[in-house]
Structure 1
Amino acid sequence: MINQDDSYVDFTQANQDGMKYAYLRASQGASFTDDNFNDNYSRSIGSGLKIGVYHQFGFGSSIKGQEKNFVESVGNNIGDLPIEIRISYYGNYNSHNVKPKKLFNDVNEMTAYLYHKYHRPVLLKTNQRNYEILKKIPHAQFAITGKQHAKNSKFIGLSNANQIYDNGKISEYEMSAFNGNKVK
């Protein structure tokens, strides 16, 4: 997971170190765009990595605003992987004050919009509690943090201790492991 806080990323070197794919943050909520998205996307092309793009869900933003922000941020630069929506609590938003029905309806609407616009499955990265709320959303795949939830996930978030490349080098980026079947 790459965002503007990661500074310069050498995607070719990351591939040589054993990384197989990278997700680039494009947008967050209805107004934030990642300052390095276009540069990172351009530099990732030809690196040998599979590239995905992600949007950080904003609980306080309208869904239409978030859809517009994402589309304006990425254009057609959506990479090779499912489009990801990251759903994690922040600030005053938590599992006690975010209503499950509203969360389901909002994420379902955005997932359907992105699926139909880009003809690509949508990966929802979230926790186990939200997975239980969102698991019936059509066209969605899931990335759930923690290996104990692996059977429900296409991607598994790795703890810091497990963020090591195949060659033994430690990663400085947030990493996940693919837990699905390769599409031919």
Structure 2
Amino acid sequence: MKKRVQPIYSDKSQDIKKHRNILIFIAITILMISLLTGVILRKIQSAGRPNEIQYPILGVMLDQSDGYQDFVALQNHKVKFVYIKATQGANFSDDFLESNTSRIKGTQLQYGFFHVVSFDTTAKEQFENITKTLVMQRGTLPFVLKVSSYGKYEQEGIPKKKAIKIVDTLKTDIKNYYGDNCIIQLDDSSKKLSSYFSRIWYVSESKPQRDNWLIWQYNNSTSIPGYAGEKSYRLSVLNGNVDSLNSLVQTNE
């Protein structure tokens, strides 16, 4: 009986199959690690973001300290609205106002302007600064008046009566000039004014307790969920859905 001859290529074929299986295993392992890393990264980036199902509309607030912005990238990462700083007090205007405004118009983002209220100058002087800076320029969203302590008022507290009078006068002047029903942004230093206004943007780490909040800024410096950029943002959510956002949109007619 003849001895069966083993083909000379048999061992090589087995080695090739073995190496191929190892490579497949390595590729699958790398893929699984990449997917897991992506999930973990998204979890980290989304930390602190209010429930996306309940509050799907994400927004950011920008000033010159935030530098150049890629608004298309913001839009692609589910940002729906942006507020751009226009002015502060009686004399300051934001260096990035013109650049931010011209470039955001090339996107589908809704946007508006905000003014930082001063307690050391009159409402008339501040309104003149707003109109001198913006002229008749109007955002697609209502104007915001940001009320917060600064300088000596961080220790003394905000002068309540004076602040209310300035904000009320500015609200009226802006309504008459631009047609905007202003939103008032309040933080921990100014929340004592909340009972005097109806359209409020709260700045707070915890969910606002009052029912009259329109927007909630939940973080002063964090990354946008899913956005791998190095920039940090002041992130907010709208109290509502896309219909709620659309109801705020104003025309320039």
Is 1:103 matched up with 2:163?
A: yes
- Structure 2: distance between partners of 1:126 and 1:67: 19
Shift, 1:109, TM fit: 0.6
Q: Which amino acid aligns with 2:73?
A: Q
Is 1:36 matched up with 2:96?
A: yes
Shift, 1:78, TM fit: 2.0
Residue by residue over 1:34-75, the C-alpha shift from the partner in whole angstroms, topping out at 9 and shown as x without a partner, is 111011100100211101100011121221111011111112
Change (3 A) 1:160 1:24: closer
Is 1:178 matched up with 2:233?
A: no
Shift, 1:183, TM fit: 3.8
2:145 to 50, 67, 85: 85
- Structure 1: distance between partners of 2:117 and 2:190: 13
1:144–1:152 Cα contact (<8 Å) kept: no
Q: How does 1:54-73 map to 2 (within 5 A)?
A: 54-73=114-133
2:203 to 145, 150, 154: 145
Percentage of pairs with the same residue: 24
> Partner residue of 1:156?
216
Shift, 1:94, TM fit: 3.4
Shift, 1:92, TM fit: 0.7
- Structure 1: distance between partners of 2:219 and 2:246: 26
Shift, 1:131, TM fit: 3.8
Taking only aligned residues, the RMSD between alpha carbons, in angstroms, comes to 2.2
2:196 is paired with a residue whose SS is coil
Residue by residue over 1:1-60, the C-alpha shift from the partner in whole angstroms, topping out at 9 and shown as x without a partner, is 111111110111110111111100000000001111011100100211101100011121
How many residues align? The count is 181
Question: Which is higher, the Rg of structure 1 or of structure 2?
Answer: 2
- Per the normalisation by structure 1, the TM-score is 0.87
Greater per-residue helix proportion = 2
Moved more, 146-155 or 7-16: 146-155
- Structure 1: distance between partners of 2:97 and 2:245: 26
1:158 is paired with a residue whose SS is strand
Which 5+ residue runs of structure 1 have no aligned equivalent?
Answer: none
Shift, 1:83, TM fit: 0.3
Determine which structure has greater relative contact order: mean sequence separation of CA pairs < 8 Å that are 6+ residues apart, divided by chain length. 2
> Partner residue of 2:84?
24
Q: Which amino acid aligns with 1:75?
A: V
Which 5+ residue runs of structure 2 have no aligned equivalent?
Answer: 1-60, 248-253
1:148 is paired with a residue whose SS is coil
2:77–2:224 Cα contact (<8 Å) kept: no
1:116 is paired with a residue whose SS is helix
- Per the normalisation by structure 2, the TM-score is 0.65
1:128–1:149 Cα contact (<8 Å) kept: no
Residue by residue over 1:79-122, the C-alpha shift from the partner in whole angstroms, topping out at 9 and shown as x without a partner, is 11110111111111137353211111111111111112111110
Shift, 1:182, TM fit: 3.6
